[in-house]
A and B are shown apart, each in its own frame.
Chain A
Amino acid sequence: MGHWRDSDPLLDMDFTPDPSKLSFQADSVRRKIISAYWTIIILALPLWWYTTSIERLSLPSSQVASNAQKRLQIPVRLAVDVGSEGPLVATQLQKSLNKRIERVPERWDGLDVRVSTSAEAVDGTYIICSGREVAVMRDRNLVYPVGAQSISGLTDVLSDLIAPFPSTSEPEHRVAQYSPRYRLSFSLLNEDAAAGNAFTEWDVSDAIARHISPILNRVSILHNFTLESQVQFHAPLAFNPQHLDTIFGITPEDLTVFVNSAEWTLSSSASNDPVLHFVLFIPSAARRPLHILNNEGDISPSNAFLLPQWGGIVIHNPSLQDIHSDAKFSSAILDPIFSAFSSHLLSLLGVPHLPTNVQTVSRTHDALTDWQFDALLRYRALNNAQRSKDTLQSIVNLVGQIENMPVGPNVRDDIQNALIALEYMYDASKASLTETLRHSARAFILSSRAFFNPGMLALLYFPAEHKYAVYTPMFASAVIPLFVAALREVAAWRRERKQKQ
């Protein structure tokens, strides 16, 4: 290379133009090029930000927080109708009740109990009248031998009637979670029909009409129901019952695994509504009679049991007469079974039991009294309100914690509507119990739907490392020359300025 330079030194000394004099080598052109690159990058940044960011709409978190502070207060108005003694008894009763409320506040939380005289009674007030010795009830009336010494007994009865659950905000473990619609599935399960003496048929529609439908009609404000029934001829147990002399026994431990979900096709795949199962189990002819044993190993008097939040099971050992008559159940056999089912259903729906010393006298054969029904409405309304407030708070916390969680318009709208429903609920709480329940149920459904919105899970498990892994190879190699060129140019520009000074 040096060779031709040596031989022709004039060429590069005199004829080569100075490259810095060339138009495209001017400093201004180079700076323009570099700034053009940087302008494009900076202009593209918002686009990049927009296309890669996750849609996170802002949630009304302050509203949710303020809502969590609010308390639903459901008024319970009691009136004493005992003639001239009325005002005195009313103040005594109020005092006695207030003492109870102070002692167990969680049981009375959300209930605003006021006692007055019958003169001030408004619609929906519970009337307490003096009467015979036995405490008897009729609609919203309570007949009680009112007297100065019976105030404490009356307070006991009233506590059991008005606040039957140990806590108003914590759900009972037996009671099925609130749902606007339940499926009630009645199953007649023969353990082994081929072994003989099985029931191949039952008049379930008739039994439901007599025992279950009155309850369903009464609680139709709270829930809708879908009814279905099936008969199975081979429903084996997953365990072997104990063989004791002449009977077969199921121990309390066995009861927990009594439902053989692998072999009994009880579940439904067509809908998402919660199912309450009512199972009538007929033991195989080889295993009769089958009884439930208590903890001591003795035969329990009842052959029915309840699985919390799942349903009820009745074990029926057909007697000799049943077997000889027909393969069909007579209503005489089905009646006690279905009355067990109906009490299971009441427990699962959260209907409180009446205090043992209280009898009902009602003109119609209502499935439940107004006292029970109101207590159920209050329980469901307070529970739904509490749960929807908790759910809303959880969503806000979760979205705040996980930055990758998208929040779409569906979620935001559901949350806003749930808040509106809660507002309506507070407004309605003074006026109407059924309206309060309706709005609390709406708030609960909307908040659950927002919480379980599948769109929120989309990017939950997309780690940031993935992004770096894709971006680095590209940007590290492309951005470094850009940076270096920019820095060099800035440095050159500063040097020039210094030299000029």
Chain B
Amino acid sequence: MQAGWKAKFLLGLSLCLSALGSPIGEQFDEQLTLKSLRDGKVLSRFSFTTLLKGASPRNPQTLGSDDISQHYTIFPLALGQILREYAITEMHLTLNAGNWNYDRWGYPEEAGVGTGAELWAWMGDGPSDTVDDRWKGLRNALAGLFCASLGSLDEQRTTAPVRSFEPEGNLPDWGPPHQIRHASLASEHVCTENLTPFLKLLPCKSLSGIASLLNPHRLFDADWHGMGVHVLWREGEGVEVRLAFQSISDPVRYSLGRKQDWDFRTLFDRTIDRKCPVAQSSHVVVALPTSAEFDISPEPTSNAAGLATFDVATLNKPLDVGLRWRFDFQYPLDFDSPTSSLSVQRTLRGSSQARGQLSLVLKNHRNTSLHVVYLETMPWLVQFYLHTLQIYINGSRNDDAMSDMTYMPSIPHARPATFQCVLAVPPGGALHLTMDVAKSFLRYTEHPPDAQRGWDLPPAILTPFDPTSNRSANDPIGGRIYTPALLVDLATPDFSMPYNVIIFTCSLVAFIFGSVFNLLTRKFVVVHIEPTKDKKE
């Protein structure tokens, strides 16, 4: 009897342990959030979080000596190696394609939506390798890992904007303060070769669990898509790696403009067939529409506060969550009116290849005044004339709207400019900032292979904050806002005929040289011509 009781207890214990599913020390959670937007599009956001419990980032003081052995079960080893090799405390890498439309889609769930590639990292200072050496190593290693041209995020693109990129986790206290490095490359094209290594970092790859919905054919067909890798340290918890994928797909387009119904099949062309065996939690969360009649299938596991939650582990598989509307989709009249508190417009004006004007328009849709940190990290290709900076509030000149300006001028061929200031936008008003810029004349070898296309300038970043509190808190006003990238047309030589140019210049030089030389050395003689009789007549 006693033995039987013991066996039952042990069985129960082992069941508990196996129900836990994941090993102690590492925890993996996955979530998919789906939300129908006002203009009929659907936002899907995948989030895969791995927590390495009790771990801490490598102290750069120990970089000279041997590191501890890395034994992981869920945590991606390929990423762990890079993080420890270069002693990275916090790192954020995003690869996005397209422009996020804040006015129509509101604030994204993942703040990093800047076009192209963006990488920023917080690193402690150490005795053996400088922060810049490790930054270089980090971007080259990530370039190799993600098959992205992050290697070109070199000194000419690297800045240290502390104010706009505050650490999202905690920074350990190792003595010397932490430093930030940030670089972005708007011209990076994100495609399936970047998604494949991204999927390999997931414990279940794209073969089971929520990640099996990540179908490159559909994701890269979306109106907007972006992936992100975020590594941060939470004091008392451990090192957290969050892999995120966001996309904006358009079911109205798939259904030939009639219905905004969607399900996994139409959005991703896949269903969830199996659960990921190591996921501690695996949820699909659908934001339900508030003002329309709809039908959701299958029955959600729980339904609260307008959010229907599906637990992938317990529901019948294959799981195909779908939302169906009773009526056809009609564009709302206000589909283009802003949903965010701040609208931003940034343009580069001027048709000349030497001069231009940068213009930024901020519109505050709230009825309280809004303070934003405005950050421009401009490659040296475009140089600011700071004395021409002018600010208009609702059409009238008001330079007092700008405060706390810091400016680090660019160095040609070496360093980008960093321009940062705080702008105050009055309630319901518009702020218009203009500044003249000069466009550089590049060396022959500095042009990219597609030189005629122009240069992509990185997006400006605006961070709203509450001036009454001490630090520039992200919420509740909203996080960083990225403007669309700009394209600048620089004077471009004709690359097709360098040899012709050589020949032409050489001919000219040879002609001038020959003439001068001949003139200097020619012997003049008088030739006496006897007048002939014919002529005389």
Contacts and interface: CB of A to CB of B under 8 A. Distances in A.
Contact of B521 (A34, A194, A201, A269): A34
A481 B518 contact: yes
Interface string B496-537: 000100110011011101100110110111100001000110
A326 B18 contact: yes
A229 B81 CA distance: 11
Interface stretch (A90-98, A466-474, A493-501): A466-474
B100 to A, nearest CB: 30
B461 interface: no
Contacts of A271: 81, 85
A204 interface: yes
Contact of B506 (A19, A236, A326, A474): A474
A218 B197 CA distance: 38
Nearest to B24: A201
B141 interface: yes
Interface stretch (B33-41, B158-166, B273-281, B341-349): B273-281
Contacts of B74: 231
Given A34-B521, A200-B23, A481-B518, A231 B506 contact: no
A19 B522 CA distance: 11
B510 A6 contact: no
B203 A233 contact: yes
Interface stretch (B204-212, B242-250, B473-481): B204-212
Contacts of A328: 23
Interface string A220-250: 0000101111111110100000000000000
Nearest to A195: B274
Nearest to B74: A231
Contacts of B14: 325-326
A229 B525 contact: no
Nearest to B515: A481
Q: Which of B67, B207, B509 has most A Cβ within 10 Å?
A: B207
A477 B513 CA distance: 9
Q: Which of B84, B141, B521 has most A Cβ within 10 Å?
A: B521
Interface in B173-227: 200-201, 203-205, 207-209
B81 A194 contact: no
B526 A473 contact: no
A19 B69 contact: no
B82 interface: yes
Interface in B6-42: 14, 17-18, 21-23
Given A269-B144, A478-B510, A481-B518, A194 B23 contact: no
Given A30-B523, A268-B81, A474-B510, A205 B531 contact: no
A469 B514 contact: no
Contacts of A200: 21-23, 73, 277-278
B450 interface: no
A234 B77 contact: no
B66 A226 contact: yes
Contacts of A2: 535
A301 interface: no
Contact of B78 (A193, A233, A268, A474): A268
A37 interface: yes
A25 B274 CA distance: 101
Interface residues of A, number: 56
Contacts of B524: 19-20, 22, 25
Contact of B81 (A233, A270, A326): A270
B72 interface: yes
B517 A226 contact: no
Q: Which of A9, A208, A269, A325 has most B Cβ within 10 Å?
A: A269
A231 B274 CA distance: 19
B119 to A, nearest CB: 15
B145 interface: yes
Given A6-B536, A194-B275, A228 B66 contact: no
Interface string B128-143: 0000000000000100
Interface in A414-459: none
B14 to A, nearest CB: 6
A33 B521 contact: yes
B510 A477 contact: yes
A205 B71 contact: yes
Contact of A16 (B204, B511, B526): B526
A5 B84 CA distance: 96
A268 B145 CA distance: 9
Given A228-B81, A265-B78, A326 B72 contact: no
A25 B523 contact: yes
A9 B141 contact: no
B523 A226 contact: no
A192 B207 CA distance: 9
B525 A233 contact: no
B70 interface: yes
Given A30-B523, A198-B277, A269-B81, A481 B67 contact: no
Interface in A1-44: 2, 5-6, 9, 12, 16, 18-20, 22, 25, 30, 33-34, 37
Contacts of B277: 193-194, 196, 198, 200, 233
B327 to A, nearest CB: 39
A134 interface: no
Nearest to A19: B524
B71 to A, nearest CB: 4
A200 B26 CA distance: 11
A485 interface: yes
Contacts of B144: 269
A230 B203 CA distance: 10
A185 B69 CA distance: 10
A232 to B, nearest CB: 8
A229 B71 contact: yes
B510 A270 contact: no
A328 B22 CA distance: 11
Contact of B507 (A19, A204, A231, A473): A473
Nearest to B273: A194
A482 interface: yes
Contact of B525 (A9, A19, A185, A327): A19
Interface of A: 2, 5-6, 9, 12, 16, 18-20, 22, 25, 30, 33-34, 37, 185, 192-194, 196, 198, 200-201, 204-205, 208, 224, 226-234, 236, 265, 268-271, 325-328, 469-470, 473-474, 477-478, 481-482, 485, 489
Complex A-B, nearest 5 residue pairs according to Cβ-Cβ distance, in ascending order: A477-B510, A19-B524, A194-B208, A473-B506, A227-B69
7 contacts: A5-B531, A20-B525, A194-B209, A231-B72, A270-B85, A481-B513, A481-B514
